[in-house]
Every structure is written in structure tokens, then in C-alpha cells.
Structure 1
Amino acid sequence: MKKYYFWHWDESTGNEIDHWGTSDWYFEIGEDGYVSKQLEIFASGDALYYGDDHIEDKFGMLSEGKFELLGEGEKEITQSEFNTVFKKTKFNNVPNAI
């Protein structure tokens, strides 16, 4: 059974997209414990998508290794909540993410 998590990162990236501001991260975790989809939505409205079908690009990459809770603000969410965000978001790096 897949799990879904939300996490707010209260810092900017420190790189060329630093001006996008802070970000909200959404994770879909597969039964194997690895991240299968990752959504990064920034305060500026910009957004990035990573998944098994788009692992890496000039902005970043899909989280590596098994997903681990940091214990600092992660919140488990429903599949429906994740899918709502996924469907309504236009991603800068993958315009037609499915």
C-alpha cells in the first residue's frame, strides 16, 4: 500500500532558483519504501515534479534511498489530497506530468 506525505521546507534552495522561496513537498511512497513521486511547490508558484518517469533534471532530482521521516513536521496525507495537488499543479520542469 502506498503512503503519502507533506512537508514544508522553510528555507529557500540556496541555488539558481533561490528566488522561488520556501517550498511545500509532497511524496508518494511505494510499497518498497522508496519515493515514487515527488512534488515541490514553491512560494513563487513555481513547481517541480520528479518520479520514476522523470528522475533528474537541471533543477534537482527524485529523492534517493528509502524514505525516512525526519520527525520535524512531516504529515501523512491521503492519496486524494496528493492527487488533488498533483492534478492542479503546472510543473516548470515537466509541463505534462501524468
Structure 2
Amino acid sequence: MRTPLRAACADVPVPPDRESAQAVARYLVGLRLILADASGERNRWVRQLGVLIDQARTGNVVLVARGAGNLGREYGQLFREIKARIELLRPTPECDVC
């Protein structure tokens, strides 16, 4: 039979053991590095997209189409590579629920 104290503590998560905590830390550090790279690439993409939007105001359709194609090829590949790096990370069971 549960005592009132045990019943109150039943929903409190058990803290992870030391090995589990270290695995979570390794995962988060690896993820942080990838996300920092992704953020930098996104910032560069946004700046170049702004330049492309400015060029669109000139009405030169050929220039804008060429720029859009270049931007898509360059950053599409970069973003796919970043996604692949994230997929290589194996989240710990504690991180998998997030």
C-alpha cells in the first residue's frame, strides 16, 4: 500500500545517474556546435536573400532568377548537410522525448 508520501513522490522524476547525465551532456554539446553552424549559415542566407530582394525591385527578372537559383543550390546543400549532421547524433533516451 502506498503511503501518502510515496504517492506524492510517484510523479517526481528520478534524477539520471552520472553516466546518463554525461551522455546527455555530450549530446547537447554536439547539438550546440551543429546549431551554431546552422545559425551562422541561416544569417548569411538571410543577408543574401535581402540582396536578392533588392535586386528584384530593379525588375531584372533574369538577374533575380539566376540569383535565386544560385542561392537555392548553395544554401539548399548547406542546410541538407546540417540536417544530416543532426541526424547522425543519437539522442539519449532522456533527450529523445524532447
TM-score band w.r.t. shorter chain: under 0.3
Instruction: Pick the structure with greater CA Rg.
Output: 2
Q: TM-score, normalised by structure 2?
A: 0.21
Higher strand share: 1
Q: Calculate the TM-score normalised by the size of structure 1.
A: 0.21
Q: Which has the higher contact order (CA 8 A, sep 6+)?
A: 2
